[in-house]
Amino acid sequence: MPDTHGAVKTKRSPQLANHAGFPDERTRNDAIRFRRGPARLVGGPGSGKSTLLRDRTRAIVDSGCPPESILFITFTRQAVRSLQSDLATLDDPPPVYTLHAFCLSQLRRAAGDVYVGMEIIDDLALQLLFIPLTCTALGMTPGALSKSLLAFQNSWHDRDLDIPERRQDFDRFLERLKRAFNVALREELVVRYQTFLEEGGETPALAHLVVDEYQDLNRAECDVIDRISARSESHCRSRR
């Protein structure tokens, strides 16, 4: 996988300001136009990787590639909204997802009845809704609950779903809450989709896969990206 290296903007290199942190126009254009297979875009924080990936995606659409055959994965909902806004000037912009939202969309396609109406619960909702309800129902202190919640999330991260006896009441109650509110944790959606793929489920066939902030993915998330990219003609990932 070839690397396209950027450079961090510094006071000593003001000439980089017009090139989103990349050393020259040729390097930037090479990264945008590269189509011969997988590529990795490497640069420090603030070097313009996300901007370059956005411009690369725009160039792919402008070249005539059907937008529905392009998938842009980024790490946060805020980044999704920013990219959607940036790409909105295209007549038919390609889909932009967080990985967790993409996994949920694919699970809905595969088993719609189970996932219809399901939403991804974020950290704020956990703090405002789940934690008070769980503390009241189980008589747990916020500190003890936070530790149990972290262990619950890590069990999905590590795919270690053999729950210790000391956590069984907490886990059962949390599962009931999730069903009652029809929500899922980010971590479990990735693992559920990973399991679906391992059991023979198919990822969508794509012409281009673009992944931003690749270095922030955990092992399960990287595995899902690898499985998606295996059916993609071209994919590009950015990392620090």
CATH code, domain carrying 19: 3.40.50.300
Q: Kindly report the pTM of this predicted structure.
A: 0.76
Domain interval for residue 72: 3-111+205-239
Contact 53, 27 (CB under 8 A): no
Judge if 75 and 148 occupy the same domain: no
Asked if residue 66 is part of any domain, the answer here is: yes
Structural domains in the chain (count):
2
Q: How far is CA 26 from CA 29, 43, 48, 171, 240, in A?
A: 5, 16, 15, 54, 21
Asked if residue 180 is part of any domain, the answer here is: yes
Judge if 37 and 96 occupy the same domain: yes
Asked if residue 193 is part of any domain, the answer here is: no
pLDDT in tens, the chain (240 residues): 444 443 322 233 222 223 345 556 777 788 788 777 778 887 777 778 888 889 989 999 999 999 999 999 998 889 999 999 999 999 999 999 999 999 999 999 888 678 888 888 876 666 677 777 777 887 878 787 777 777 777 776 666 555 566 566 777 777 888 888 888 888 889 988 999 999 999 888 899 999 998 888 888 898 999 999 888 877 787 776
Judge if 217 and 131 occupy the same domain: no
